Amino acid sequence: MKVVIGEESGHVRLITLNRPRQLNVISSGVVVLLAELLEKWEKDDDVELIIIKGNGRAFSAGGDLKMFYEGKKDDYCLEVVYRMYWLCYHIHTYKKIQVGLVHGICMGGGASLIVPAKFSLVSEKTVFAVPEASFGFHTDCSFSYILSRLPGHLGEFLALTGARLNGKEMIAAGLATHFVPTEKFPELEKRLLDLNSGDEHAVRKVVEEFSVEVHPDKETLLNKLLVIDKCFAEDSVEDIIKSFEAEALYEGNGWIAPLLKSMKSFSPTGLKITLRSVRLAREQTLGECLKKEFRLTMNLLRSVISADPYEGIRSISIDKDNSPKWNPSTLAEVTDEKLDIVFKPFSEELELQIPAEGDTHRWSGKYEDSSYPSLMKAKQANKINHHN
């Protein structure tokens, strides 16, 4: 079965994520195919419009956690991480009009495929979250960049609590552009194929014909932005939690308790790395954010200061006991000195190679052109020699 299906129809191209039983999680095969299709179609003057959707009841639940768990030795997942973050840069800067049809679950790396699109269409079934800190990881796939640009401190709030947003809330937060009832998706897709054009005005006209104006429900978290901004503007995770606890005591703030409980159950290392990453992103370009996220991910997968991602994945995806043993187990033990280690830049040839501005170099910096393949080969040879 093909994990990504690419279809051609006149000037339109359709991408379908096709791992429905796995909620279309992103594996190395998915990343390679997406990158190939998007490069080919951007360079093809005949292509004007790209539509992306997920098969089954999810758009995409994010990265394939089991792949990371099974590949915990010898930088096994370095290649897929490199390729994904490199691809994220190209999705944000893509030259053709993209339309994301987003029904069902849309989380983490999955959401990174559609949030940057010119048209990201959500429905009453869409559920968004960036839950990475909950399993000892950090908000990646360009989400440090995306979240840092949301209103006030909503980005830090979403990253540190893993709070879910529905389709209406995604629109209000600026994470999606249009709300379309699920039953209208097939007809809308057909109309876009029939339109056979990437003219932005014409595409917008079709989308608006199917979309409805929506506002978040009264009890939405987005109506709590005063409290969220006050608490999540604090300098440290510890101070954010203290401030949030103080607000929880006020009448009408019952919504805070479950979020606090979640935060306190998350990996202390994941929380601290995530907060620093989103804060730094406020002053960083997209390219700088992706390079930083690449360093953080590789340092986490190498267990440089903590093996929490593997413990987190074990507890939610492997043993499913939902009782991770974090190490370090307290926020106080995750010192600034420890954080400095994972944020430290790599030497230039080991950084994620973001293409230079300008069309000639736009698709340069691929994994196969980086210094990593030869390094990995040398590593393997050393290992074999060592065994002999």
Chain length of the chain: 388
CB 23 within 8 A of CB 60: yes
- Other CB atoms within 10 Å distance of the CB of residue 43: 12
Of 48, 64, 79, 140, which is the active-site residue? 140
Catalytic residue check, 6: no
Neighbours of 370 (CB within 10 A): 19
Name the residue among 247, 215, 242, 249 with its Cα closest to residue 228: 247
The catalytic residue among 62, 63, 104, 162 is 63
CB atoms within 10 A of CB 350: 15
Known active-site residue 109? yes
Catalytic residue among 54, 100, 104, 109: 109
User: What does the alpha-carbon distance between residue 39 and residue 53 come to, in Å, rounded to a whole number?
Assistant: 18
Residues 6+ apart with CB under 8 A from 99: 49, 50, 51, 52, 117, 118, 119, 120, 121, 192, 203, 207
CA-to-CA dists, residue 295 to 65, 82, 131, 332, 350, angstroms: 18, 10, 19, 23, 9
- Beta-strand relationship, 119-122 and 178-179: parallel
CA gap 320, 41 in Å, rounded: 41
Q: Which of 48, 64, 132, 293 is catalytic?
A: 132
How far out from the chain centre does Cα 126 lie?
15
Sequence-distant (≥ 6) Cβ neighbours of residue 105 within 8 angstroms? 23, 57, 58, 59, 60, 61, 127
Q: Which residues contact 80 (CB under 8 A, 6 or more apart)?
A: 27, 28, 31, 67
Angstrom distance (rounded) from CA 221 to CA 240: 17
From start to end of the chain, where are the E strands? 4-9, 12-17, 49-54, 97-102, 105-107, 119-122, 127-129, 165-166, 178-179
Q: Which residues are catalytic?
A: 63, 109, 132, 140
